[in-house]
Copies of this chain bind each other. A is one copy, B any other.
Amino acid sequence: MRGAPNVSEARRAAVLQAAAELGYRPNLVARSLVERRTRTLGVLVSDLHNPFFAEVIDGLQAEAQERGLRIVLGTGRRDPAEEAETVEAFLQQDVDGLVLLSPRLPGIEDVAAAVPTVVVATRAEHVDVVVNDDALGAELAVAHLAELGHERIAHIAAAGTQERRAGYESAIARHGLEALIADGDVTDEGGYRGAQRLLANGRPTAIFACNDLAALGALTAIEEAGLSVPGDVSLVGYDNTYLASIRHIALTSVDQPRHRMGRLAVEALDARREAPGAPPALHTVTPHLEIRSSSASHAPRAARASRAP
Contacts and interface: CB of A to CB of B under 8 A. Distances in A.
Contacts of A61: 75
B25 A92 contact: yes
A91 interface: yes
Contacts of A274: none
A220 B247 contact: yes
Interface in A225-260: 226, 242-243, 245-249
Interface residues of A, number: 50
Interface of A: 23, 25-30, 32-33, 38, 48-49, 51, 54-55, 57-58, 61, 70-75, 77, 88-89, 91-94, 114, 188, 192, 216-217, 219-220, 223-224, 226, 242-243, 245-249, 308-309
A72 B90 CA distance: 10
Given A49-B242, A188-B247, A224-B309, A27 B94 contact: yes
B247 A217 contact: yes
A66 to B, nearest CB: 13
A181 to B, nearest CB: 22
Contacts of A246: 188, 216-217, 220
